[in-house]
């Protein structure tokens, strides 16, 4: 997973930008405790999307904001939004342990069906089983297939925590899908070109063979036309039959040779693509391993327990410290330049954001 982008205030920030910055910190805090704050995270993501607050933070799109600043994919963010938009709050709270993936699937049903399916102990139903139940209820196989593309693997979807293993699996799955799609597209284009080239070549060869045989036939026929006896006529008939058979055989041989050559080139292209696929997948795996190694190194530096939660906490803690230090350095630079009013405005915005984050932590206690 790419590291989340560090946000900093724009020097001439407006009150709307300061408000959006405070909302961002609330979203990040809610994401850390997704299991117990699913409703809060979904509502705040919906507010950020509907108000387009992400544009005031310098992001071109909602997808850009969620992936770079919050650390979740756009499809996952829309899963949270879908849950709060389509499932009653009480039903969400009763089934929060099932995870956002299952709740997002449940949102595809009507209210009556939602209550019926959730009454079957949703936390102990696998994603695959839930998908089959919903297919039977609605017959929405195509829509569920699109949702499944964004879901975590079934063995990981039981947990609502966003950990490094989940993110690494998602990155590898996305790499495989992209490589496979590119592979299919390239093979289809190569096949089309090769088939067209060989069809044209085969057509030229057949015309040439036919023309040569026809010329030979006409030559021999002219020779025998000079004779009027029945023997000459019989020879002409035999020559014509032999020539037609040779033409037919030549066409068959040309077609067979062209097909053989086309298959050899297809196999060569497939082997080359498979080698590229393996290289791309290995690169994706190494990138994921490097991210995990860096997180473990930071955790050891902070003397935290060796667990997935501690590793992720250490990485985010260092990012928060770096961001806070950079903002304070910026305020000091403005003060040194005599831009006191602007420095005061930024210092107030920073204090407000930190107070909002502290308030959120106190509420969670």
With vertex at residue 56, the alpha carbon angle to CA 354 and CA 21, rounded to the nearest 5 degrees, is 10
246 found inside a domain: yes
Higher pLDDT, residue 315 or 322: 322
pLDDT at 222: 76
237 found inside a domain: yes
Flag whether pLDDT at 81 surpasses 90.
yes
Region 291-301 average pLDDT: 70
317 found inside a domain: no
Lowest mean pLDDT among 118-132, 162-176, 235-249, 351-365: 162-176
For residue range 206-249, what is the model confidence (pLDDT) as tens digits?
A: 667 667 777 776 777 777 677 667 887 888 888 889 888 888 88
Average pLDDT, the chain: 77
Residue appearing with tokens 């020779």: 223
Domain that holds residue 220: 181-281
How many Å apart are CA 236 and CA 224, to the nearest integer?
A: 7
Q: Enter the pTM of the model.
A: 0.34
Higher pLDDT, residue 352 or 174: 352
pLDDT at 19: 83
274 found inside a domain: yes
217 found inside a domain: yes
Lowest mean pLDDT among 36-40, 224-228, 324-328, 359-363: 224-228
158 found inside a domain: no
How many Å apart are CA 103 and CA 123, to the nearest integer?
A: 10
pLDDT at 91: 85
Q: Residue 132: what are its φ and ψ, rounded to 5°? A: -65, -40
pLDDT at 29: 62
228 found inside a domain: yes
pLDDT at 66: 94
Residue appearing with tokens 């920030």: 13
For residue range 8-65, what is the model confidence (pLDDT) as tens digits?
A: 555 556 888 878 888 887 776 654 554 457 888 889 999 999 999 999 999 999 999 9
252 found inside a domain: yes
203-227 in b/e form (b: 16+ CB < 10 A) is: eebbeebeeebeeebeebeeebeee
State the total domains in the chain: 1
């Amino acid at each position: 997973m790419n590291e989340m982008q560090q946000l900093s205030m724009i020097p001439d920030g407006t009150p709307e930008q300061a408000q959006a910055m405070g909302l961002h910190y609330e979203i990040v805090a809610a994401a850390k405790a997704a299991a117990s704050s699913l409703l809060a995270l979904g509502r705040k993501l919906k507010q950020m999307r509907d108000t387009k607050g992400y544009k005031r933070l310098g992001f071109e799109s909602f997808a850009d904001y969620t992936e770079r600043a919050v650390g979740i994919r756009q499809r996952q963010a829309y899963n949270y939004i879908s849950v709060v938009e389509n499932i009653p709050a009480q039903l969400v709270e009763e089934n929060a342990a099932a995870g956002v993936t299952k709740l997002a699937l449940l949102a595809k049903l009507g209210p009556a069906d939602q209550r019926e399916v959730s009454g079957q102990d949703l936390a102990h139903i696998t994603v695959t089983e839930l998908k089959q139940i919903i297919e039977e209820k609605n017959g929405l196989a195509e829509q569920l297939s699109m949702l499944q593309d964004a879901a975590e693997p079934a063995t990981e979807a039981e947990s609502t925590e966003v950990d490094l293993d989940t993110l690494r699996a998602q990155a590898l799955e996305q790499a495989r899908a992209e490589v496979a799609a590119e592979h299919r597209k390239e093979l289809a284009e190569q096949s089309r070109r090769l088939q067209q080239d060989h069809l044209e070549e085969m057509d030229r060869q057949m015309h040439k063979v036919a023309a040569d045989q026809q010329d030979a036939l006409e030559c021999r026929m002219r020779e025998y036309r000079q004779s009027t006896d029945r023997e000459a006529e019989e020879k002409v008939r035999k020559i014509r039959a032999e020539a037609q058979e040779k033409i037919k055989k030549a066409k068959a041989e040309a077609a067979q040779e062209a097909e053989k050559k086309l298959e050899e080139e297809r196999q060569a292209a497939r082997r080359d693509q498979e080698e590229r696929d393996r290289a791309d997948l290995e690169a994706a795996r190494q990138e994921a391993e490097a991210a995990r190694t860096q997180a473990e190194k930071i955790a050891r530096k902070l003397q935290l327990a060796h667990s997935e939660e501690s590793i992720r906490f250490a990485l985010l803690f260092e990012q928060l410290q770096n961001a806070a230090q950079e903002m304070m350095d910026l305020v000091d630079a403005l003060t040194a330049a005599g831009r006191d009013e602007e420095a005061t405005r930024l210092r107030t915005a920073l204090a407000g954001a930190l107070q909002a984050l502290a308030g959120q932590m106190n509420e969670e206690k």
